Copies of this chain bind each other. A is one copy, B any other.
Amino acid sequence: MSVTRAAGFSAAGVTAGLKPSGKPDLALVVNTGPDHVAAAVFTTNRVKAAPVLWSQQAVADGRLQAVVLNSGGANACTGPAGFADTHHTAEHVADALAGLGLEVGAGDVAVCSTGLIGTRLPMDLITAGVTAAAGALDEDGGADAARAIMTTDTVPKTAAYADEGWSVGGMAKGAGMLAPGLATMLVVLTTDAVLDAEAAGTYLRKSCSTTFERVDSDGCMSTNDTVVLMSSGASGVRPDARDFQAALDETCHDLALQLLRDAEGSAHDIAITVEHAATEADALEVARAVARSNLFKCAVFGGDPNWGRVLAAIGTTGADFEPDRIDVAFNGVEVCRDGAIGEDRSQVDLSTRDVRVDVNLRNGRAKATVWTNDLTYDYVKENAEYST
Q: A304 an interface residue at 8 Å Cβ cutoff?
A: yes
Interface segment out of the listed A42-50, A139-147, A193-201, A351-359: A42-50
B294 A79 Cβ-Cβ under 8 A: no
Q: How far is the CB of A107 from chain B (nearest CB, A)?
A: 23
Which chain B positions have C-beta within 8 A of A307?
Answer: 77, 118
Question: What residue of chain B has the Cβ atom nearest to residue A318's Cβ?
Answer: B46
Considering the chains assembled together, what is the distance between the CA atoms of A299 and B382 in angstroms?
A: 9
Complex partner residue of A314 from B47, B220, B380, CB under 8 angstroms:
B47
A376 interface residue, CB < 8 Å from B? yes
Q: Which residues 218-234 in A have Cβ within 8 Å of B in the complex?
A: 218-223
Interface size class of A (residues with CB under 8 A): 35 or more
Cα of A39 to Cα of B79 in the assembled complex, Å: 51
Across the interface, do B118 and A308 meet the contact criterion of CB distance under 8 Å?
yes
Does A316 belong to the interface (CB within 8 Å)? yes
| Binary interface encoding of chain A residues 302-313 relative to chain B, with 1 for a CB under 8 A from any of its CBs, else 0 | 101011110111
**For the complex, is A336 an interface residue (Cβ under 8 Å from B)?**
yes
Stretch at the interface among A94-102, A249-257, A275-283, A338-346: A338-346
Docked complex Cα distance between A387 and B301 (Å): 12
For residue A76, which residues in chain B have a CB less than 8 angstroms away from its CB? 308, 311-312
- Mark A65-109 against chain B: 1 for CB-CB distance below 8 A, else 0: 000000000101111011000000000000000000000000000
What DSSP secondary structure best describes chain A's contact surface? Answer: loop
A45 and B315 in contact (CB under 8 A), knowing A77-B341, A82-B340, A118-B340?
yes
Q: Which residue from chain B places its CB closest to the CB of A301 in the assembled complex?
A: B384
Taking A383-B295, A387-B306 as contacts, is the C-beta distance between A117 and B312 under 8 angstroms? yes
> Does A127 reach chain B (CB closer than 8 Å)?
no
Asked whether, in the complex, the Cβ of A377 is within 8 Å of the Cβ of B388, the reply is no
Contact, CB under 8 Å: A341 / B78: yes
Contacts of A312 in B (CB 8 A): 45, 47, 76, 117, 177, 220-223
Complex: A382 Cα to B304 Cα, angstroms: 12
A130 at the interface (CB under 8 A from B): no
B309 adjacent to A220 (CB under 8 Å): yes
A47-B311, A117-B311, A380-B376 given; A295·B220 CB < 8 A: yes
Q: Are A387 and B176 in contact (CB under 8 A)?
A: no
Q: Is the CB of A315 within 8 A of B383?
A: no
The verdict on A57 contacting chain B, using a C-beta distance below 8 Å, is: no
CB of A206 closer than 8 Å to a CB of B = no
B-side contacts of A383, CB under 8 Å: 294-295, 298-299, 302, 375
Output the least CB separation between A381 and chain B (Å): 7
A/B interface sample: 24 pairs, CB < 8 A: A45-B312, A46-B317, A47-B312, A47-B314, A76-B308, A77-B336, A117-B312, A118-B307, A118-B336, A119-B341, A181-B316, A220-B309, A220-B312, A221-B315, A222-B312, A223-B311, A294-B375, A294-B379, A294-B383, A298-B380, A298-B383, A298-B384, A308-B387, A376-B380
9 closest cross-chain pairs (CB), A and B: A117-B308, A302-B384, A47-B315, A298-B383, A79-B340, A45-B315, A118-B308, A46-B315, A298-B384
Excluding A79-B339, A79-B341, 10 further A-B contacts by CB distance (< 8 Å) are: A45-B316, A47-B312, A47-B315, A47-B323, A77-B336, A81-B340, A119-B341, A120-B341, A218-B295, A301-B384
